[in-house]
């Protein structure tokens, strides 16, 4: 139970609490405010070893939609980026990560994994005026992995 509570606090509650604390400041911005959080495909599908984090990310994505609805009248946008797995120092500690990265890199329509620059570029877009027409969205930055139905065992 403690793991579930920790996952919900880290992934969901912090977004809602921080957004509420920043609401008035964001509402004063000339071009409106924008918030972006990070999610993962495990919110939509079962991913081995992801466990309670999948449930927490599903709740996070629901919170993005509700916050977007609540704050839209104040011209505050709320979105999420669902990033593919990225080879980082912290990711090295996740069981099976090396195999997951290899499989995804060979499976995605772009034929590669994403990196921090891919995710950072999407965040810049979502936070800037270029993304001013979107709110309540989950943007997938996973080299197209989420668009696949079933893996044939061969690279596209």
Tens-place pLDDT, residues 41-53 = 989 998 887 889 9
Q: 0.85 exceeded by the pTM?
A: yes
Q: Which of 13, 41, 50, 140 is catalytic?
A: 50
Q: Which of 13, 40, 41, 66 is catalytic?
A: 40
Give whole-number Cα distances, 24 to 21, 35, 74, in Å. 8, 13, 9
Dihedral, CA atoms, 143, 88, 36, 132, nearest 10 degrees?
Answer: -40
Active site residue 50: yes
Side-chain half-sphere exposure of 31, counting CA atoms within 13 A: 8
- 6: its two tokens: 């920790």
Low-confidence ranges of the chain (pLDDT < 70): 150-156
């Amino acid at each position: 139970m403690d793991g579930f509570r920790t996952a919900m606090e880290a992934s969901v509650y912090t977004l809602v609490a921080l957004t509420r604390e920043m609401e008035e400041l964001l509402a004063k911005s000339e071009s409106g405010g924008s918030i972006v959080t990070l999610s993962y495909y495990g919110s939509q599908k079962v991913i081995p070893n992801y466990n309670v984090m999948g449930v927490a990310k599903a709740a996070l994505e629901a919170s993005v939609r509700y916050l977007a609805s609540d704050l839209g009248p104040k011209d505050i946008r709320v979105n999420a980026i669902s990033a593919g797995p990225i080879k980082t120092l912290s990711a090295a500690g996740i069981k099976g990560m090396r195999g997951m990265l290899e499989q995804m890199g060979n499976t995605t329509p772009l034929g590669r994994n994403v990196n921090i620059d891919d995710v950072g570029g999407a965040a810049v877009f979502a936070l800037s005026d270029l993304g001013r027409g979107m709110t309540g969205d989950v943007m997938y930055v996973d080299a197209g992995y989420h668009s696949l139905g079933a893996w044939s065992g061969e690279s596209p």
